[in-house]
Structure 1
Amino acid sequence: MNATPTGTATTGEAPTSYRSALTLLASLFFMWGFITVINGTLLPHLRSVFDLSYTQTTLIESVWFIAYFFASIPSAKLIERIGYQRSMVVGLGMMAAGALVMVPAARLPSYEVTLFALFVIASGITLLQVAANPYVAVVGSPETASSRLNLVQAFNSAGATLAPLFGGYLILGRTTSGTAAAGAAALTPAEKLADAQSVVLPYVIVAVVLAVLAVVIARFPLPAMGAATRRSAKADRKGHSLWAHRNLVFGIPAIFIYLIAEIGVGNLFINFVSQPEIGNLTHQQASNYLFLLWGGMMVGRLVGAFVMQKMEAGHALAIASIGATIVMLIAAVTTGHVAMWALISVGLFHSIMFPTIFTLGIRDLGPLTEEGSGLLIMAIAGGALVVVQGWLADSYGLQASFFLTAACELYVLFYALWGSKPVVRGGLS
């Protein structure tokens, strides 16, 4: 299909305007990566403050990703109504408001208000995701879409890489639970209250940065993502079905399942490497190693952006999924620093997965690109099923729960080798 997909910049825009727009969008990728990964340091903190089981701890992250399911379609409708630029401003405003709600959540302290605050922040990020990912994918040559999205997603990983240092210093490093040795005695009520309030300063800082970024984007001359293409696409969509595209049909569960793997590793990492038989670290010390996990994703995306200018995206995805499966099995069956470094290294293999699956999923959709993109973003809700890994950790042990992650990597391998291949006209064979 040669029709211009919805969201493609109108012809006649100078390439320099694309570059400046992508540079600004990189800051959005950075911020939502940063805020998402702060949860990795926030969760062990909340587990200590509220005496949570692993199931209850991962439920916090499930609420975060449930927001993707509920907010994706309304986000697409909002973008259609007010445009990309205003929607980005609204998304940043929602994120700032949610960050400020963390202040009363910490002062009460309240597990339920914390869940609400994180849901609001995640809804704002969903709005940004629905706008930014397809924008980056369609601005430029389709052949280099995976390379381009991997490059911009590297800024997402840069935010994710810095977040553990920020959270480790301002949250875990200033709390009794964060600096206590593994197996230390339970916190007293006074210590729990003091620990809970340690999140106030970090989230106020985040809210201020988001508000400033919203003002910058509101005043920036982003290239118009033309309404004309939207009208022509509406006519072109007649007679076409999303479900006739194998790469999208199998790409939706690929995103869903991959997110279970990525979020499970990130959220349980600190608890895992803190165990005496693995790294025997304090939570604050473990957050420094989480920095390496997300740093590996940043490096992998930068390398992937270069490699996939020359290598077919499906082949690169297959290699990454094989590597991820191997290191997750090592993490699940070994102990000590071997298990710890195996878990750290999975970030390198995970790095290209989301942007590559996304661009393979919308490949050749033509006038159906907007709807396909919305469904792929909705599939990020798969991260909510990290609660299943929490249940496995409670029932069978934290280390054994990583067999679930290895199984998720195998589905990504299936998608890379077969599911991502565009359907031949007339069927899924």
Structure 2
Amino acid sequence: MTTSIESQSKGTSSFVPMAIVAGLFFILGFATWLNGSLMPYLKQILQLTPFQASLILFSFYIAVTFTALPSAWVIRKVGYKTGMALGMGVMMLAGLLFIPAAKTQVFALFLFAQLVMGAGQTLLQTAVNPYVVRIGPEESAAARVSVMGILNKGAGVVAPIVFTALILDSFKDRVGTELTQLQIDEMANGLIMPYLGMAIFIGILAVLVKKSPLPELESEEDDNETKEKGHIKAALSHPNLALGVVALFFYVAVEVIAGDTIGTFALSLGVESYGVMTSYTMVCMVLGYTLGIITIPRFISQPTALMISAILGLILTVLIVIGDNDSYAIANTLLVPFGGTALPDTLLMIAFLGLANAIVWPAVWPLALSGMGKLTSTGSALLVMGIAGGAFGPLFWGITSSLTSLGQQGGYMVMFPCYLFILFYAVKGHKMRKW
């Protein structure tokens, strides 16, 4: 018989479970936000179009669509803790797949490795997110998720810097030049050791988590009367959950566009430091999470924070699309006087989207899972399916980039309807308890 983490935490400190979960959020962030550096790097090596480059993100995030609900089934069978270990095992396998992909330089192998990495992340996400929501009072869940978000996005700051230090620094002089086959081979082989090291580290961590004192959440009984379709139908009968899934779909779409296409856009502008551009967005997200911890629920409610985030996202989207790529006013004010790099205003406004995006995930999760009870793991799996937005956001950005006269800059207009729906959920959608 499993014991709920809520009841167990009454008698013992929740510090150890939260410390373990925090480490997992860091690993999730590191593996996820490597994509922001990997995408322009592969674009350069394999000479990809913006649309083809967006498939690198598509293959990673589309895995969520067909593995989220099976992940919930696995967790009901083996438990949350074993589910986390299995998720990391799949991520380890994905890291190893990058080795033959780099040696052969076959684009399809890179996409397959990304697909497997996305599947492992989905299983880990489905298992780990309910811990944060259910380890304390529901009204302060957004603050706890914000703490995890700082670690997740903090890893997003670190990952591009590590990628650049281990791989990209030796090849900065090749931006905007036509590569020889020897140079392409050299750049591709540079991926092997970092991904091998990451695979080994994640594998060791999976074993440690399996043997850790992490308490088990109370799980639903998978009896004969309540089949998988019944779980899904019951969960989707809650409008706040169903609309929350859509809100997260649009949120992850804009989050991934802001975090992972900024490097590709920077490469198109001839910025040599394109590999670390994701770090700029992640720094803004960490700042946003910190503000969330300070203000929620002490000064503002979760829905209010969500509304402010959506409005800021709408404003920034307009400014990015109509902005001047030759203007450096923001960098000259905020970065250059302190020894920072001079970057175009449009790039920095994409980074500022991190502020708009930071609170959305931690605010939507508790609002969507409110009142779900024993349907929590199915609700969690459905919410994790919203991560599929990360597949389609960059894809539509790539398509729109090819169709507008503004090119990649014009592609960012696809974010506007996404923020509009998030605004709707903040104002009305989360309050709905009946269709």
Alignment of structure 1 residues 19-168 onto 2, 5 Å: 19-168=15-164
Which letter does structure 1 place at the counterpart of 2:410?
A
CA contact (8 A) 1:254 1:411 kept: yes
- 1:366-386 Cα deviation digits (max 9, x unpaired): 233222111111121121112
- 1:311-359 Cα deviation digits (max 9, x unpaired): 2100000001111111121111112332222111111111111121122
One of 380, 384, 408 as aligned partner of 2:391: 384
1:350 pairs with 2:354:
no
Which letter does structure 2 place at the counterpart of 1:199?
L
- 1:206-229 Cα deviation digits (max 9, x unpaired): 1122122112212211112235x6
Deviation at 1:7? 8.7
One of 210, 216, 221 as aligned partner of 2:213: 221
Distance (Å, rounded) in 2 between the aligned partners of 1:215 and 1:71: 22
Relative to structure 1, is the Cα distance of residues 215 and 367 closer, same or farther in structure 2, using a 3 angstrom cutoff?
closer
Which letter does structure 2 place at the counterpart of 1:203?
Y
1:318 pairs with 2:326:
no
CA contact (8 A) 1:89 1:215 kept: yes
CA contact (8 A) 2:263 2:276 kept: no
Deviation at 1:251? 1.0
CA contact (8 A) 1:13 1:223 kept: no
Q: How many residues align?
A: 407
**TM-score normalized by the length of structure 1:** 0.89
Which letter does structure 1 place at the counterpart of 2:396?
V
Distance (Å, rounded) in 2 between the aligned partners of 1:69 and 1:109: 27
- 1:265-316 Cα deviation digits (max 9, x unpaired): 222201223444xxx411xx13334212101111211221231122210000
- 1:136-161 Cα deviation digits (max 9, x unpaired): 11121111112211211221111111
Q: Which residue of 1 aligns with 2:249?
A: 256
- 1:52-86 Cα deviation digits (max 9, x unpaired): 11111101111111111111111111111111111
Relative to structure 1, is the Cα distance of residues 384 and 15 closer, same or farther in structure 2, using a 3 angstrom cutoff?
farther
Distance (Å, rounded) in 2 between the aligned partners of 1:361 and 1:7: 24
CA contact (8 A) 1:8 1:135 kept: no
Deviation at 1:16? 4.2
In structure 1, list runs of 5 or more residues that go unmatched: 1-5
Q: Which residue of 1 aligns with 2:271?
A: 281
More displaced 10-residue stretch of structure 1: 218-227 or 205-214: 218-227
1:395 pairs with 2:403:
yes
- Identity across the alignment (%): 29
Deviation at 1:179? 3.4
More displaced 10-residue stretch of structure 1: 286-295 or 350-359: 286-295
One of 11, 19, 36 as aligned partner of 2:7: 11
Q: Which residue of 2 aligns with 1:3?
A: none
Q: Which residue of 2 aligns with 1:290?
A: 278
Say which SS state the counterpart of residue 22 (structure 1) adopts: helix
CA contact (8 A) 1:33 1:159 kept: yes
- 1:3-55 Cα deviation digits (max 9, x unpaired): xxx99426244464422101111111101111111011011111111111111
Which letter does structure 2 place at the counterpart of 1:373?
S
RMSD: 2.1
Which letter does structure 2 place at the counterpart of 1:218?
K
Q: Which residue of 1 aligns with 2:322?
A: 333
Distance (Å, rounded) in 1 between the aligned partners of 2:253 and 2:307: 18
Say which SS state the counterpart of residue 226 (structure 1) adopts: coil
Which letter does structure 1 place at the counterpart of 2:408?
L
Distance (Å, rounded) in 1 between the aligned partners of 2:390 and 2:71: 19
CA contact (8 A) 2:69 2:378 kept: no
1:414 pairs with 2:424:
yes
One of 195, 199, 223 as aligned partner of 2:191: 199
CA contact (8 A) 2:317 2:413 kept: yes
Distance (Å, rounded) in 2 between the aligned partners of 1:312 and 1:7: 31
Distance (Å, rounded) in 2 between the aligned partners of 1:81 and 1:243: 22
CA contact (8 A) 1:172 1:179 kept: no
Q: Which residue of 1 aligns with 2:240?
A: 247
**TM-score normalized by the length of structure 2:** 0.88
Distance (Å, rounded) in 1 between the aligned partners of 2:151 and 2:11: 21
Relative to structure 1, is the Cα distance of residues 260 and 7 closer, same or farther in structure 2, using a 3 angstrom cutoff?
farther
CA contact (8 A) 2:146 2:290 kept: yes
Say which SS state the counterpart of residue 125 (structure 1) adopts: helix
Distance (Å, rounded) in 2 between the aligned partners of 1:43 and 1:190: 21
In structure 2, list runs of 5 or more residues that go unmatched: 328-343
